Chains A and B, each alone.
Chain A
């Protein structure tokens, strides 16, 4: 399968970390925290929508909530396929970084 894009990877990892509390707002916070950048809602949904289309995550709706203007929260959950994709990506990352120390060393 095709490798995940960076934004897809970040979004997936955030969902993983949020452990069942992953919906738009929390994902955005998490992503912003990881990357140290303030992501717009639109910027979150584009990769989120893509990974959903690819079947890497599935959604579960909560009951409608007043603070959301009467809408449900849409929770995201990683599917086994998503997990596999993440692991594969990690493997690629790891093998890419093998033998490269100086980069980190120089930075410190």
Chain B
């Protein structure tokens, strides 16, 4: 019919064809042509054309309405089919929706965590121009990074380099955890006391509720407190202009700040002006640090001019350093760390201001887990969808025969995925809201679902499901829509069967991921157990430590000690300036045969070593019989003896130059003990005594008791007798040492849960697949039974395949997990050896779970009577 459009102008015909609904197109086009021809013959070409144009315009609305009606009808049809399939195949729908919603919920939770981690310090308006100064010291080829800098450094830098717009110095000494804050008669020990230059308000964005930003910290004896603290100390009355005593000094409150967000690497509650440190009240805190280039105790932040390059500035620092630091420049350098890197990229930096820093590795670990969980859920979906293809093949064939195009079929199957995903999203949202409090308590985070992040969560859900939908939905849609009606309807080919290898590969991937996660979790657990239970070189059990934050109390030490020792349940009492697991300072020492170097050092008394249960390897402990011990005796650990190159350490000379000079000799060597976490190697440490008590800040008590509560009440009474009005605090040494692994414990708990979920999801998938495959082989099983196969041989037959897959997964999972876990273990100086046991256990678990998922179906199939099996179909 080449004369098809002869009578109608081509363009109009084309246009009409677009507009007119398929089902009436044929007749309608004919009508148009007929009338057009009639008018043209009677009245000429142009009137006919004008008529046609008018008609086209007139027809558009009704045709459009009509075609819309039909597409909605088809959509209804798809929706109806989708819901029907969901309802009819309950196991399949359950597996898919559970898997998808669990994985979506996991992803959202992890995304919330990652988003939070990445958002650290981003809320400062000028965050991109702010840098923290990090000192790099090179010692025998090894770089040591430190965040602590001398006080004069920042102001001097700002004088010499015009690209530095502002500098801020912050003082937050690690050796004073809490400061005494008093108001009227009440006093508290508070964390979060920071001293800072007034410029902190210009550089960082800590919005004030009241008063002018500029003058809030200008007065030397002034401070800003947060809303929370204002409420605590002053209730609802206005605190501005009132006075609080900080460390015994009267400080005027000149501003109220909003509570510092959780995603800030330091969170002050009291922000005291830096100048306050110069007042006599703080002399016993800062000594001569404020003008000393050799005292690294302050944190320096720079704000650069917009557009200035930190790298260029760093280049120019070399001559500066040579002038101001009395050190060989090849051994010393400064690094400007971008503010936003502080939280996640400070792993190697010591002497941190706060302990809130995390590690980018955790962000990667959790991203990987989220990705894995998603992949596993995707694989479930793809596997089940293609496995069921045989069942749907007839439907596809029929649809194609009655005129469905491939595009329409793809639309339909994608539509089904969308319906499933939509349900999964709703369930996932509920799961997320339910799981957040649990996650918070496990991970120590503060996530909530509120109006602020509701949109973010929904966006995440939609985003994740979009990825899921396109990954998991498109493949089955494309695959199912290719079926040829001739093949599927004649029953010649079961299209799903051909895809067996593809499905097996996916199952192997799933299991490899699950097994790796199980191995990692198990290995993590045993490393953690190792950290918590290994001998530390001292006995952390049955020791109570009491922090003393008040000089007047420590001066009463002898009286407190005498009073405590009256209690038969208290065995020993000692005091020290710090404790294992707390920040231990370094002091400059000259050791025989070596050069000056900073060494860890601990001030202790005569009873410290026995109280802590440390062992003397050589020599003796400090003794009251030698009165000179206080002035000239040192005890070192084994690591120190080794580091100093002393075969026999006893009698070797040590010289400390600091606030005082102290020449002395080594009287004993103590066995190595862990005064830091297992992340760090035991380093040299020097124990010595102080003549005056004021340098001590912990009282440690070794106890033996059945009734802890009574004992604690007794200790508190002794405390209150000699230290009236000072709050009593204490901690148990073992709990305190275990807290060093808080991050790992949290990581372990959280990743344990996600591992468990991923295994569950993978199991669901295998269960579904096994159900389907067993169904498919019903007839085969029937025939086998007729021919004499036993029930057990059929169980073996059906499970064998999956067991093979698990074995292959193990081969993939073991090396991957081995390298990943080894990498993680590198974080620990003291670590477990990965044993084959962990791997075997993980594989055994995986096998057990598989047998469990597959077994139910195989057993059911094996005990079915052959007659009913053969009648199937």
Contact = CB atoms under 8 A, between A and B. Distances in A.
A58 B3 CA distance: 28
A42 B27 contact: no
A46 B27 contact: no
A54 interface: no
A40 interface: yes
A68 B3 CA distance: 10
Nearest to A48: B24
A25 B34 CA distance: 8
Among A23, A25, A43, A71, max chain B CB count under 10 A is at A71
Interface in B14-28: 19-21, 23-24, 26-28
Contact of A70 (B6, B19, B61): B6
B186 interface: no
Nearest to A66: B3
A12 to B, nearest CB: 16
B491 interface: no
State which size class the interface on B falls in.
Answer: 20 to 34
A68 B28 contact: no
A71 B61 contact: no
Interface string B49-84: 000000100111111011000000000000000000
Nearest to A50: B66
Interface in A23-65: 23-25, 28, 40-43, 45-46, 48-49, 64-65
Interface string B556-599: 00000000000000000000000000000000000000000000
A69 interface: yes
A49 B29 CA distance: 14
B26 A49 contact: no
B485 to A, nearest CB: 25
B72 to A, nearest CB: 15
A42 B3 contact: no
Given A40-B58, A48-B24, A68 B34 contact: yes
Contact of A41 (B4, B8, B28, B38): B28
A67 interface: yes
B482 interface: no
Contact of A42 (B7, B28, B34, B35): B28
A40 B53 CA distance: 12
B59 A74 contact: no
A42 B5 contact: no
B69 to A, nearest CB: 9
Contacts of B233: none
A83 interface: no
Contacts of A70: 1, 3-4, 6
Among B27, B28, B33, B37, max chain A CB count under 10 A is at B27
Nearest to A45: B24
A70 B13 CA distance: 13
Given A67-B37, A68-B34, A69-B8, A42 B62 contact: yes
B30 interface: yes
Among B4, B19, B30, max chain A CB count under 10 A is at B30
A67 B33 contact: yes
A43 B59 contact: yes
Among A40, A64, A74, max chain B CB count under 10 A is at A40
Nearest to B65: A46
A83 B583 CA distance: 98
B228 interface: no
A67 B26 contact: no
B22 to A, nearest CB: 11
Contacts of B21: 45, 49
Contact of A67 (B19, B34, B61): B34
B373 to A, nearest CB: 48
B31 interface: yes
Contacts of B4: 69-71
A76 B66 CA distance: 20
Contacts of A5: none
B24 A72 contact: no
Contacts of B3: 66, 69-70
Given A45-B28, A69-B7, A69-B30, A25 B1 contact: no
Interface in B288-343: none
A49 B30 contact: no
B29 A71 contact: yes
B32 interface: yes
A33 B55 CA distance: 18
A104 to B, nearest CB: 32
B30 A46 contact: no
Nearest to A53: B23
A25 B8 CA distance: 16
B209 to A, nearest CB: 66
Contact of B31 (A41, A43, A46, A49): A41
Given A49-B66, A70-B3, A70-B4, A25 B59 contact: no
B62 A40 contact: yes
Nearest to A71: B30
B59 A69 contact: no
5 contacts: A42-B62, A45-B20, A45-B66, A67-B37, A69-B3
The 7 lowest CB-CB distance pairs between A and B, nearest first, are A42-B59, A24-B31, A40-B58, A69-B33, A71-B30, A68-B30, A42-B62
Given A42-B60, A65-B34, 12 more contacts: A23-B31, A24-B27, A24-B31, A41-B28, A45-B21, A45-B24, A45-B27, A45-B28, A46-B65, A65-B30, A69-B29, A70-B6
Interface of B: 1, 3-8, 13, 19-21, 23-24, 26-35, 37-38, 55, 58-63, 65-66
